[in-house]
A and B are shown apart, each in its own frame.
Chain A
Amino acid sequence: MKKVIIYLIVIVIMFGVGFGVSDYVFSDRTPTQPINFSHKIHARDNEIPCMYCHIYAERSRVSGVPNVKRCMGCHVIIKRDSPEIKKLTTYWENEEPIPWIKVHKLPDHVYFPHKRHIKAEVRCQTCHGEVQWMDVVTREAPLKMGWCLNCHKQREVKNGRDCWTCHK
């Protein structure tokens, strides 16, 4: 009997270990991107504003992944010899989009407009973390409903707790 309990305890502990390894070591918070793009170099070191590349954020629901032409706008001159920029040039020459992996995902039933949040002067970093310090982008905020509502409550958003505000 005692043995069975020990067995169970071991199973539960090891289950937790396995789960943890998967969640932290093989995390989807920090996916490997096709090009090793550093937000730190762009946003911090060179002080490029977010919306210089994410051009639709003020106008649309989505902020917009920078189009390849926009990258090439600078990199046609800057650091052309770096191996990562060479990857970029290859995509551009082949007229192919860069297959980035999404880091900040919301389910389909959530309506999240970037436009409104920027109008309300929410900093990009509130949801996306301190991106300007990240060499590799990782998801820091949980992006769960409770977390969203917390902020809506604190900022006393008009209709901010109405179901239809986000689920429509």
Chain B
Amino acid sequence: MLNRRDFLRLIGLGGVGTGAGFALSESTKKKAAGLIPYVVPPEEVIPGVANWYASLCTQCSAGCGVIVRVMEGRAKKIEGNPSHPVNKGKLCARGQAALQSLYNPDRIEGPLKRTGERGSGKFEKISWDEGLALLATKLKEQRQAGSADGLYVLTSSQRGHLGKLIDTFCKGYGTKNHIQHELLQQRNLTLANQIAFGIDEMPHYDIENANLLLSFGADFLGTWVSPVSYAKAYGNMRQGRATVRGKLIQFEPRMSQTGANADQWVPVKPGSEGLLAMGISAAILEGGYYKKSDRDEWAALLKGYDIKDIAHKCDVSEERIGEMARLFATTRQSLAIGGEGAASCEGGVSNIVAINILNHLGGAIGRKGGVFPNPSVPLQGKPSFKGIGDVAMAASTSRLKTLILCNSNPLFGAPKGMKLDEAFRKIPFIASFSTFMDESTETADLILPSSTSLEEWGDDFTEPSVRYGVATIMQPVVSPFYDTKSAGDIFISLAKGVGGGTAKALPWSDFHSYLKGEWKRRYRNYRGSKEATFEVFWNKVLADGGWWPSQKPVSRSLSISSRRVRGQLPTRPARYDGDEKGFPLYLTLYPQIGYYDGRGANLPWLQEMPDPMTSVVWGSWIEMNPKTAKGMGIKEGDVVTVESPHGTISAPVYHYPAIRPDTIAVPIGQGHSSYGKYAVGRGANPIDLLPHKLDKRTGALALNATRVKITKGGSGGKLVKMEGSTDERDRGIVKTVAPEKI
């Protein structure tokens, strides 16, 4: 029977069995989950039910209204605000990706003070009180030393009350140097409209009702001015009307996303867009299509423009110019617009003036489907053309004592020739209120980080508007994630620290009370208010996302006279640096739809988003016509070095059939040396190739300004793209016809 040994064995095995069974059961049990209640429930929150808050998108300067889905205090999704007159419920990829700014792992989490060498990136954490006191003491000392005007405040484009607050701060302190700088600011467009029409604000282009749209290098479906609003209008122009499908003709050396949508894409010679507009105008007069009383004046003004010569210079046939002129003048509701291609080069202002003249001769001004005036924008007087050039100048002459940066990153968007980095080294004290550690903020001595647009109050007066005034409100949809403050609050606290006139100029307790007070004033001054009290009004504004009380188009008229534009016209194509022999190719730079002016590069969603024309992701590329590339023995994906008289970059080549063989194109936005883990060390910054060519009057940087040469080899990333082959292998899938044959 059972001996002692067997008995012990059985006990042992039984024990093992029990243990194994117990362990298995325990391991399958789920970890006890907590069920944590609120101590006191927030008023607006129902767990599991989303709240949508209306606010403002700040990813570019278009000023779209957004609604943000918030669940239990976390922002989850951003969509366009359906009742907002600018974007009408639509939103672009950059707007959607604003969520990733909020949750970005590379945000500056609290105030920092530099400890290492300037630019070494070594900082120590300090408290807000300490940081504000440090800057306030600096400013106090500077003012006592009599150099209050040595304070420069460099911010991004601020049309709302934050901009006014900063102006007030500067005025109270004793400086006039609040400069709003962005790489793509449309300064040339503003000045050209000022010259041609005598208006300070951008006009409204009625793309929605246009039957013929001539676009001179305006990528209005991608990045130009107000892309969401224009894309919506374009949809209507093409498909929204029962009787007519508007026609789009795009003039640009490199096919943009907009060019790809056009009926005709005309690859004009780089820099000759303005001249071509003059050619078409001249052809309108020559063809006798323009019959108004001021006909002779214009004919006299345009006398020197020989169509044959222009055709040669623009690389567009004479007949084609004549045909364009006929179409433009005889089509009812025709419109011409000029974008970066025309405006962002030497003589960019005159190119846009030329396009305005074309609009006049085609009868587009003040007519349906044409150019309309916008109401004047509140808080804005005459547009200021002070720019980054003034900062560089002041810094290099040691006039600049203290620089405050606020979400402006001039070091990324400045060509080497400007020597801005050297100028920055001469600035005795730099403070940055930026949200992210970018190239410029890295040089700061003190960082007082501001919150993202989803965490703070603000507002915006849209420009260009939609023929009536639109004010958008920005409200915090979540509480700040980190130890950051809103930029307005930082300035107000700083003013209190500085004391004296500065503190008196900014008497408010915080930015919210200032903003609300200013809106209250507007509410009182507006006669047509339907709401009984301000609180009712204010709640409605917060619910709607803004205020657009009168939706009646402004009653003003636009006019242009030959007298005003005399001497402001383009006479030749824009000059490009570098001689043709040494540098055989034109360089054209364009803002990529995701990275824009570089600010989108730290958001992985935008890096991951395939470029609409090339499908490339996560990097830079150089667009070359396959003919040119093959002639040089360059395969797609080969890394090449691009050299201009001013600098070099290297990146892989993309064979792009929709670009002139004598031109290469590089997207702007990559090649950051600092801007968080998703942006750093990725691609190349083509701004390095540009000459230091700022428009004398507007201070705008010319993006189309230099010739380049290409040599094989160089260091650069791999070309990663979504598409397979672009070759249709003689299957005739997409049939194309050269424009000359139409």
Residue-wise, chain B 1-27 has the 8 Å CB interface mask toward A (1 for contact) of: 000001001100111111111111110
Are B39 and A97 closer than 8 Å at their CB atoms?
A: yes
Are A18 and B25 closer than 8 Å at their CB atoms?
A: yes
Are A7 and B41 closer than 8 Å at their CB atoms?
A: no
B300 interface contact, C-beta 8 A: no
A68 interface contact, C-beta 8 A: yes
Are B20 and A15 closer than 8 Å at their CB atoms?
A: yes
Instruction: Please report which residues of chain A, range 37-87, place their CB below 8 angstroms from some CB of chain B when the two chains form the complex.
Output: 56, 59-62, 64-69
A149 interface contact, C-beta 8 A: no
- Residues of A contacting B631 in the complex (Cβ-Cβ under 8 angstroms): none
Instruction: Please report which residues of chain B, range 610-636, place their CB below 8 angstroms from some CB of chain A when the two chains form the complex.
Output: none
| Chain A residue, CB-CB nearest to B21 | A18
| Chain B residue, CB-CB nearest to A104 | B35
B34 in complex: contacting residue of A26, A61, A100, CB < 8 Å = A100
Are B46 and A59 closer than 8 Å at their CB atoms?
A: yes
Are A18 and B17 closer than 8 Å at their CB atoms?
A: yes
| Chain B residues bordering chain A, tally (CB within 8 A) | 33
- Residues of A contacting B20 in the complex (Cβ-Cβ under 8 angstroms): 15, 18
B36 interface contact, C-beta 8 A: yes
Are B21 and A14 closer than 8 Å at their CB atoms?
A: yes
- Residues of B contacting A92 in the complex (Cβ-Cβ under 8 angstroms): 39
Are A28 and B37 closer than 8 Å at their CB atoms?
A: no
Cα of A102 to Cα of B10 in the assembled complex, Å: 40
B29 in complex: contacting residue of A6, A12, A28, A95, CB < 8 Å = A28
Are B10 and A7 closer than 8 Å at their CB atoms?
A: yes
Known: A59-B49, A60-B49, A62-B47. A99 touches B41 (CB 8 A): no
- Residues of A contacting B21 in the complex (Cβ-Cβ under 8 angstroms): 14-22
| Chain A residues bordering chain B, tally (CB within 8 A) | 42
Are A65 and B36 closer than 8 Å at their CB atoms?
A: yes
B532 interface contact, C-beta 8 A: no
| Chain A residue, CB-CB nearest to B49 | A60
B48 interface contact, C-beta 8 A: yes
Cα of A10 to Cα of B39 in the assembled complex, Å: 53
Are A31 and B32 closer than 8 Å at their CB atoms?
A: yes
A136 interface contact, C-beta 8 A: no
Are B25 and A23 closer than 8 Å at their CB atoms?
A: yes
A110 interface contact, C-beta 8 A: no
Are A15 and B18 closer than 8 Å at their CB atoms?
A: yes
Q: Give me the interface of B with A, judged by CB distance under 8 Å.
A: 6, 9-10, 13-26, 29-30, 32-41, 46-49
6 A-B interface contacts by CB (under 8 A)? A12-B17, A14-B15, A20-B21, A69-B40, A69-B41, A96-B39
Q: A15-B17, A56-B46 are in contact. List 10 more A-B contacts (CB 8 A).
A: A13-B14, A18-B18, A18-B19, A21-B18, A21-B22, A22-B26, A67-B39, A97-B38, A98-B37, A102-B35
Q: Give me the interface of A with B, judged by CB distance under 8 Å.
A: 3, 6-7, 10-23, 26, 28, 31, 56, 59-62, 64-69, 91-92, 95-102, 105
Closest 9 interchain pairs by CB? A18-B21, A14-B17, A18-B18, A22-B25, A61-B48, A19-B21, A18-B22, A15-B21, A11-B17
